[in-house]
Amino acid sequence: MGGKAKGMACPRLKGVQRRLKKYRFTRARATRILATPWDQAALSRGGHVAWRCHALPFRMPDGDYMRLAVLLSFLLLCALAPSSQATPLHEGWQPVDGLQIFYREGGNPDDPTVVFLHGNPLSSLMYVDVMETLARTGHVHVIAMDYPSFGYSDAPDHQRYAYTFDHLAQTVDGFLKARHITRYSLYMQDYGVPVGFRLMTMHPDSIAAVMVQNGVIHLDGFPSAQDPQGELRQHWEHRNAAVDSRRAAYVRSLPYPSAADRDDEDHAGPDALMQMTAAAQRPGIIDARNDLWFDYGNNVKRYPAWQSLLKRLNVPVLVLWGNKDQFFTTPGAFAYKRDAPQAEIHILDSTHFATLDAPDTVAGLVNEFLAAHRDALK
């Protein structure tokens, strides 16, 4: 982290100053000091070094080397500090039950961990900007994975892998075990909420804090599901082939993102839309997604149990909500107060995908929340 690296840079600068006092500063001695491989030491600590100097390619009077060395020692201090533009995330695939699960990770694993669970129809890509900021400034370890058939994870056929929320949660749980993550806070959006609450049910003692963004465990914020006789609730009771067909036709109609075909009311951005389209249009994926949407009805049935669970856990709770979301509406944010009176509620001038639309705002609020509850995260 920035503070640690700067603190470690001070002894290095003092070492340069000691050399300046001890020696008459000639060109040869300047070359030896400048050739010291401190840039490699900085890189090993996670810093970013944009330059390397091994010799002076010009000649000047010896008296000017002192002034040059003072300037270079200042530049050395700046170079040893991590760049604010550095990208602290790395990516990979983790084998889980025969599947390759894609993930993004950053920060020091010894710091408190935040697990990000993405929504539908995106992937861990929706969290990149927020995760980078937290890893760089929040002294936290961040990690997010793509569920099977989402993003860059494997997409097994729905006849081989049961696309239910129970199964997704089992896969995510297996991923966390494979990564040796046993204590963590959750940041959940959309589909991430039913996945995360299943993890909380399985491992309540593992949960340090709960963060929710535009995802529901109350019908208050889910207008289209409030009528038991409505099409959606009826579909969840008796699967409707017409609903499946409409969803499949919509996916097939998704265009390559362009200025002429831009329909981005959620402000997700063309990169996220491109990945979403490519992932959803893979052969067989719409069948998997339709299975998962049909299973969403089982989440609604569990809302009362999840509300009781949140009340029993009594952990720090943060609720962020984009107020332009027409699917999961703002009453869903305030409903969390019934189960978690300690919850902090922030209504944002943003969309369903606030981490893409307003990443700096989200990262700032999450950073403040985590800092305020630092002791609870351990």
Cis peptide before 121 (omega within 30 of 0): yes
In contact, 107 and 53? CB cutoff 8 Å = no
352 is catalytic: yes
Residue at token pair 């893409």:
356
Strands (E), 73-159: 89-96, 99-106, 113-117, 141-145
Distance CA 339, CA 184 (A): 21
Distance CA 168, CA 174 (A): 10
Spatial neighbors of 14 by CB under 8 A, at least 6 apart, are none
Rg (CA), the chain: 25
In contact, 297 and 233? CB cutoff 8 Å = yes
For 333-364, give the DSSP string: HHHHHHH-TT-EEEEESS-TTHHHHSHHHHHH
In contact, 100 and 173? CB cutoff 8 Å = no
Name the amino acid, one letter, at 78.
Answer: C
Exactly one of 141, 218, 352, 373 is catalytic; name it: 352
Name the region of 51 (left: φ>0; alpha: ψ -120 to 50; beta: rest): beta
Distance CA 143, CA 145 (A): 7
In contact, 111 and 117? CB cutoff 8 Å = no
How many CB atoms neighbour CB 271 within 10 A? 12
Residues with catalytic roles: 352
